[in-house]
Structure 1
Amino acid sequence: MHRGLEQSLPHSLLDDPQLGKQVALNLKRNRAQDATEAMEAAVAAYRFEDCQHSAWNPEQYALLWGTALWHESSPSQRRLLNQLYWVAYYSQIMSAEIATIFLNQVSAAGLYAVEDFRPICDSLDLETRQERAHIHAFKTIGEDVEHRLFGRRIFTYPMRHPMTETMVFADTNGLRTWWKGIQLRAFTAMAGNPFLGSQYLLIRGLRTLNGKIVQHKLSQYYEHHPDQANAPIPAAISWYHFSDESFHFHTSRLVGVEVPRVLPKPTAFERWVVNQGVAGCQRDHYHFSSAVNGIFWYDPALYRPIYQVLRSPAFGLDHGGAMQMLHRSFCEDSEGVQAAAQTHREAVASYRLFVDSISWLSAGNREMRHMAGNNTHRYLRTNRQAYARFKGQAAALERTHNLLQTARA
């Protein structure tokens, strides 16, 4: 671009040379450390038989760790809970990345028209390609595990489109899901707006900040494995994924927090849109899950899939035993509940720090007031109330289980 000629907008990355250098360096490093080929090779080499007798995550990252189910499980069952955490956790990450693939392009459409913003758009293009590799890896392994262990889906799902509820197990219904789709379509209609394009990355950064913290811990299992060449392939994929996502988060911070200072000041409407997006993130992340610590699922939505796990041959509980275990694991305080609540508090603190300097956010959004309103007392009360309702549906689950058993026989 020649600075001597009039440009369509009076702002560009050239107005902040230091920021331009940071953006270019982030892209250069992401290209240099791109884990796509390594991840694709790992998926191609994956065989469940090779890794079914190993943990895939650090011990604390297991399904319902620290609850009654965990404490009363055998070593082999604990190993299975560890592996199912991987399947469940990355099923949620896959859902988020499906949306990211689409919304990255919406963001780029707004930023590409601004002078010298090509490095940002190139970063988003690279990240989109990486997300496709991540989705393929998580989907391939997750579906294989569930097919082998249960013969049906538990936490996985058929391929989704981006205009849907991102949280796989959410406190939602048909009307809320429909309204969420309307909101997403409305945002995409604003493609071409540079400020809103940058602010999608702000919201993306918020939504992935806790994930970055958790995924760093998951990646440690492979990074510190004494025999990486023979480490479980899912653990290696966690490490490759974290390597990519570290750059993705840095992109979110640069574009969402730093880039707006070289753009025109946001209008009242633009500020309103961004605040609605951050408020939506707070609503989505209000809950915390003792089933999958680090994913902010609505645990009552997990009663059915966990019931199915408990009735499977891996745990072999009868109907009464499965229902009792559900109550003890979700409705009674435990080490697992306290650990999930602590993760949630850490997320609130890190979200506040991330948006502290954003002047166009409301006080309620900067302080994460809604998200911070949850606690263990409310969590347990919600779970107990939902369990009382779930007991009324349990007879149908028992009939379905018996029909499946008969069909397999």
Structure 2
Amino acid sequence: MNRNLSQRHNICLADDQKTMKRIEIALKRSKELDQTAMMDQASKDYNHEACKNEMWNPERFSLLYKTWIWEQASPDQKVKLNQLFWIAYYSQIISAEIATIFFNQTSAAALYGMEDFRVVCDTLDLESAQERAHIHAFKTVSEKFEEEVFGERIFTYPMRTPFEKTMLFSDLSEFKQWWRKWQLQAFTAISANSAFVGCQYFTVRGLRTLNGKIVQHQLSRYFTEHPDKDNAPVPSKISYYHFIDESFHFNTSTIVSHDVINSLPKPSKIESIIGNMALQGCQKDHYNFSTAINGIFWYDPAIYQTIYKLMRSKVFNMNHNDAVEAVRRAFCEESEGMLASYKTHRESVDSYKAYLQDFHYINKENKELTLMASNNLEKHLKTNRKAFESFKKKAA
């Protein structure tokens, strides 16, 4: 067909056959290794009694690992803390994947308005279906676990929209939460109408997935190294299946954000500003690091009440004063666990910098992760100690 009739744009993905081929191969392999059926079967197979006495992750991936609470815990309590890491971690992943499903579709809406981008949109459709399977598996296990162990929610929550705050435990005030919700709604409209902003979303998604890879690869190893894989805990199998799918999702993010975007017209000034605002928002989300859970950017003071509730539960059976003191010693004293979480945070900063170095539209503050990198152990402890005094008064 005459090029003038078949193409509406001077630049199109078909002109970059190398990138087109990479996307096609990635989609083919993702279909071949799709873990959806395995995820769904694992959801059906989960039985609390069958795996309640065994860890689900490598030991170091336990809630409050190497804090005062961990050091005082009995062997049975340590198993529960290990299982609670899984529950807490994947409850956070659910929140992120709800947003991913939505923004995959808004980005695809903009890209499908360009020529030759169907293969990218087909890839995003597959990923969104996989994310729904992931969410179902995580929710099924987590809610059954909390019902059996606590009889109430600890880290889980009812389904939510993508406009809620992504970080479950954050330092956002009510006004900041409202403002963030408005920003996400505005970004929705823009990303559905701007192919560049739609592609740029995958720069942010790439960073978020890159952080996940740091932890999820290690979580998946509990299953791959288990001496009896057929009888390994179902949650460890889910971690493994999830890691396989997410490896392809990260590959998609990298190709779209680094290569596919080059098949689009250069961004306008406003599109560049919006792209940098999205990255600045990611820096804000990832500024904190959590003493409670290595690899998640939670704001420690926001989780005090949840940990207090855990200490008062039948798992730990502490009285009020002991539970408050446990929160203080876990979050306000430097520990090996806190240092490990800070180290993961620094690793994330370095990996983000490497991921962003080749982009021309990204400003210096985002390329150097100025905001995220400014957090440190001293600030973390100061914030935790100050917030604890307020928590202690309210808990009295």
- Taking structure 1 as the reference length, the TM-score comes to 0.95
Identity %, equivalent residues: 52
What is the Cα deviation at residue 4 of structure 1? 5.7
Partner of 2:319: 318
Distance 1:323 1:193 in 2: 50
Partner of 1:14: 14
Distance 2:162 2:236 in 1: 27
Distance 1:90 1:23 in 2: 28
Unaligned runs of 5+ in 2: none
Distance 2:58 2:295 in 1: 13
- Return closer, same or farther for 1:33/1:184 CA change in 2, 3 Å cut-off: same
- Contact (CA 8 Å) 1:88, 1:155: kept in 2 or not? yes
Partner of 2:31: 31
Distance 2:118 2:126 in 1: 12
Distance 1:295 1:208 in 2: 12
Partner of 1:404: none
Q: After the TM superposition, which residues 103-182 of structure 1 pair with which residues of structure 2 at under 5 Å, given as runs?
A: 103-182=103-182
Distance 1:237 1:78 in 2: 21
Q: After the TM superposition, which residues 317-336 of structure 1 pair with which residues of structure 2 at under 5 Å, given as runs?
A: 317-336=318-337
Q: CA RMSD in A?
A: 1.0
Partner of 1:400: none
Secondary structure at the aligned position of 1:115 is classed as coil
Partner of 2:81: 81
Secondary structure at the aligned position of 2:81 is classed as helix
Partner of 2:395: 394
AA in 2 matched with 1:139: K
Partner of 1:259: 260
Distance 1:151 1:305 in 2: 15
Distance 2:25 2:193 in 1: 25
- Return closer, same or farther for 1:289/1:349 CA change in 2, 3 Å cut-off: same
Q: After the TM superposition, which residues 170-209 of structure 1 pair with which residues of structure 2 at under 5 Å, given as runs?
A: 170-190=170-190, 191-209=192-210
Distance 1:283 1:358 in 2: 20
Distance 1:131 1:219 in 2: 17
Partner of 2:283: 282
2:336 paired with 1:343 = no
AA in 2 matched with 1:227: D
What is the Cα deviation at residue 192 of structure 1? 2.3
Unaligned runs of 5+ in 1: 396-409
What is the Cα deviation at residue 291 of structure 1? 0.3
Post-superposition Cα deviations, 1:301-331, rounded to whole Å, max 9, x if no partner, equal 0000100110011111111111111111000
2:50 paired with 1:46 = no
- Taking structure 2 as the reference length, the TM-score comes to 0.98
Greater shift in the superposed pair: 299-308 or 3-12: 3-12
What is the Cα deviation at residue 6 of structure 1? 4.8
- Contact (CA 8 Å) 1:294, 1:340: kept in 2 or not? yes
What is the Cα deviation at residue 83 of structure 1? 0.1
Secondary structure at the aligned position of 1:5 is classed as helix
2:260 paired with 1:272 = no
Distance 2:307 2:146 in 1: 13
AA in 2 matched with 1:350: S
What is the Cα deviation at residue 76 of structure 1? 0.7
- Contact (CA 8 Å) 1:11, 1:114: kept in 2 or not? no
Distance 1:257 1:175 in 2: 35
Size of the aligned set, in residue pairs, is: 395
What is the Cα deviation at residue 3 of structure 1? 3.6
AA in 1 matched with 2:5: L
Distance 1:76 1:37 in 2: 33
What is the Cα deviation at residue 151 of structure 1? 1.3
Distance 1:9 1:392 in 2: 63
AA in 1 matched with 2:89: Y
What is the Cα deviation at residue 290 of structure 1? 1.3
Distance 1:180 1:225 in 2: 42
Distance 1:294 1:126 in 2: 27
What is the Cα deviation at residue 218 of structure 1? 0.3
Distance 2:35 2:379 in 1: 41
What is the Cα deviation at residue 262 of structure 1? 1.2
Distance 2:19 2:178 in 1: 39
What is the Cα deviation at residue 144 of structure 1? 1.0
Distance 2:241 2:351 in 1: 24
AA in 2 matched with 1:152: E
What is the Cα deviation at residue 24 of structure 1? 0.5
Post-superposition Cα deviations, 1:69-113, rounded to whole Å, max 9, x if no partner, equal 111111111010000000000000000001111110000011112
2:376 paired with 1:375 = yes
- Contact (CA 8 Å) 1:104, 1:128: kept in 2 or not? yes
AA in 2 matched with 1:233: V
Post-superposition Cα deviations, 1:27-60, rounded to whole Å, max 9, x if no partner, equal 0110000000001001101100000011000010
Secondary structure at the aligned position of 1:392 is classed as helix
Distance 1:76 1:316 in 2: 13
AA in 2 matched with 1:242: F
- Return closer, same or farther for 1:2/1:68 CA change in 2, 3 Å cut-off: farther
Partner of 1:297: 298
